[in-house]
Amino acid sequence: MMMDHRQNHIDSLRAGLSLLVYPLQLAVEMPGAVSEWFRESLATRRQLQEENASLRTQMLMLKARGQKLQALETENIRLRELLDSAFMIGERVLVAELMSVDLDPYKHQVLINKGELDKIYPGQPILDADGVMGQVVHVGPYTSTAILITDTSHALPVQVNRNGIRTIALGSGTINRLELPYIPNNADIQPGDLLVTSGLGGRFPPGYPVAVVQGVQHDPGRSFAAVVATPSAKLNRSREILLVWPGDTSTLETSSTGQTEAPLPPEEQLVAPEEAAATTEENP
């Protein structure tokens, strides 16, 4: 047990053993999968037409946005080239599904139907359509386990999208709440602010939405404000998720400068911890 907790020696053992329980997981998954299959194959023509139409409009809207995004992306790359820094936009992603299996109810974990054979690795970020969901912790041959950002053992470096204040979002153990305990009382943060990943840990790609600030409480007796936020990802409702390979842009365009391996420009990485320290020291 200590070995599992502290080191990674028996990760391979766990991966091998997880092959043993894969049939059980599949068996539990089956009723849901079968009913889903029935629902899809027995859907009426009208339902399919309606779904098709709504998807079409949605795609049109997304396409229109995409056009704009492309223009912005090229402009962004051009400007960054002017600043002489390498920056990558777009990462390799893989769509996976959650298996309908219950894990330990006191941990926020999910089981994903992709594993080592799909080149999933521990620590890989997972997203859904609306934001960051969590990261992979154990990888088996066909399945992998991920913890959600609201698990009490999870912390995520974020920044406020509006003004770039960096902080850390901790899981609260409640599925719709994140805590931001390290924000100084005088920091400029208000309800409604969008928090995005800052990419400072090197694990999550920068710029993905994480949560929306819900409430800020200033207690003069304490040095930090009590800030809570609501995750933007549908943590307990999404079934389709995205697995991201940060920094791997093999399928997408990259900027032409040579430093493509670094997920962040090096100078930004160097400056950041000091700045973060400075912000925490500012408090009265």
Interface residues toward another protein, by CB under 8 A: 1, 4-5, 10, 13-14, 17-18, 20-21, 24-25, 27-28, 32, 100-107, 109, 111, 137-138, 145, 152-153, 173, 236
Paired strand residues for 157 = 168
Between 40 and 102, name the residue whose CB sits nearer to another protein: 102
- For the chain, the helix, strand and coil percentages under 3-state DSSP, each to the nearest 5: 35, 25, 40
Between 172 and 197, name the residue whose CB sits nearer to another protein: 172
Query: Rounded CA gap, 144 and 118, in Å?
Result: 10
Grouping H, G, I as helix, E, B as strand and the rest as coil, residue 20 is helix
Between 27 and 60, name the residue whose CB sits nearer to another protein: 27
Query: Rounded CA gap, 85 and 83, in Å?
Result: 6
- CA of 235: how far to CAs of 189, 254, 281, in Å? 24, 31, 34
Q: Residue 258 is encoded by which pair of tokens?
A: 């040579």
Paired strand residues for 184 = 224
User: CA angle 247-250-253, nearest 5°?
Assistant: 90
CB 106, min distance to another protein, A: 5
User: CA angle 107-112-115, nearest 5°?
Assistant: 120
CB 19, min distance to another protein, A: 10
Paired strand residues for 148 = 134
Between 21 and 43, name the residue whose CB sits nearer to another protein: 21
CB 239, min distance to another protein, A: 12
CB 174, min distance to another protein, A: 11
- DSSP secondary structure letters along 129-144: SSSEEEEEEEE-SS-E
Between 84 and 102, name the residue whose CB sits nearer to another protein: 102
- Which residue bears the tokens 């304490």? 222
- Which residue bears the tokens 């390290």? 182
Between 98 and 243, name the residue whose CB sits nearer to another protein: 98
CB 142, min distance to another protein, A: 13
CB 113, min distance to another protein, A: 14
CB 105, min distance to another protein, A: 5
Amino acid at 88: M
Closest by CA to 168, choosing from 148, 193, 197, 147, is: 197
Between 5 and 45, name the residue whose CB sits nearer to another protein: 5
